[in-house]
Amino acid sequence: MILRIVTYNIHGARGIDGKRDYLRIGLFLKHQNIDVALIQEMDTRFQDRDSVTDVEELKTDHFKTFIAAPTMENSLGWYGNAILSRFPIKNHNVIDISAPGREPRNILEVFLDTPKGPLHVVNTHKGLKPSERNQQMKKLNDLLARKSEVPLIVGGDINEWQTYSGALKKLNTALHPIPSGPTFPTRAPFLRLDRMWCRPSNLVQSSEVLKTKESKFFSDHYPLMAEIQIY
């Protein structure tokens, strides 16, 4: 069974053309036949919008399940991470990895019930400051140190462009890094901020940065997609 999984920082659905539009992102994911989407920077905190409508537009009629992991909330809505899935979610867990005085961050962990069995998916968005990011990566490594036979996909906006980062090397050792290219900024991408990993190493069949005429404008990040094979 081949599944298409994407990690995508959608920048609050605000494109570089100035438009804030969840529906066009949802339709893009549908047309790309994405089965699971790891979303960062979901933002519904706007006076002229409705949170429920934002979620439904992102889901379209394609995704069955939506799990939110807010890092900030107010009376209008919330901001943070989310996972969209065409499959039921058996359970999920949100882990706070915020650093004092910095923007709140978390890890969203879910177990999906696919026709071929469970799939473990982890979505995260790391901080901008190196010391903050190192602590957050350590917490991610600690979470993934658990031994399991369940196929695993990890993805997100890691905000790490230095390949010699110690925290990044530890994760690359613990898991299999999925090949990727630069995803940021969409006007002229040169930074590999968005990354994915898997376990076992043969889980991923192919991967690519989805650079299309649409995704160039929908966010300041390009989505990174991986095709996985579940036996």
Query: Tokens 């066009």, residue?
Result: 24
> What mean pLDDT do residues 16-36 have?
97
Provide the residue range defining the domain that includes 210.
2-229
Model confidence band, residue 190 (pLDDT cutoffs 50, 70, 90): very high
Percent of the chain scoring above 70 in pLDDT: 99
Question: What is the number of domains present in the chain?
Answer: 1
Taking residues 193-209, report their average pLDDT. 96
Higher-pLDDT residue of 184 and 148 is 184
**CA–CA gap between residue 222 and residue 192 (Å, rounded):** 10
Write the pLDDT tens digit of every residue in 101-111.
Answer: 999 999 999 99
Is 80 exceeded by the pLDDT of residue 129? Answer: yes
| pLDDT of 48 above 90 | no
Task: Reply yes or no on whether the pLDDT at 44 is more than 80.
Answer: yes
pLDDT at position 12, please?
96
pLDDT, mean over the chain: 94
CATH number for the domain harbouring residue 29: 3.60.10.10
pLDDT given at position 167:
72
Q: How far is CA 194 from CA 7, 65, 73, in A?
A: 7, 23, 24
Place of tokens 């630069």: 182
pLDDT in tens, 63-103: 999 999 999 999 999 999 999 999 999 999 999 999 999 99
Strands (E) located in 158-210: 176-177, 194-199, 204-209
Q: For the residues 173-187, what does the mean pLDDT come to?
A: 94
- d(CA 121, CA 228) in angstroms, rounded, equals 12
Is residue 185 reached through a cis peptide bond, with omega within 30 degrees of 0 on the bond before it?
Answer: yes
2: Cα separation from own chain's centroid: 19
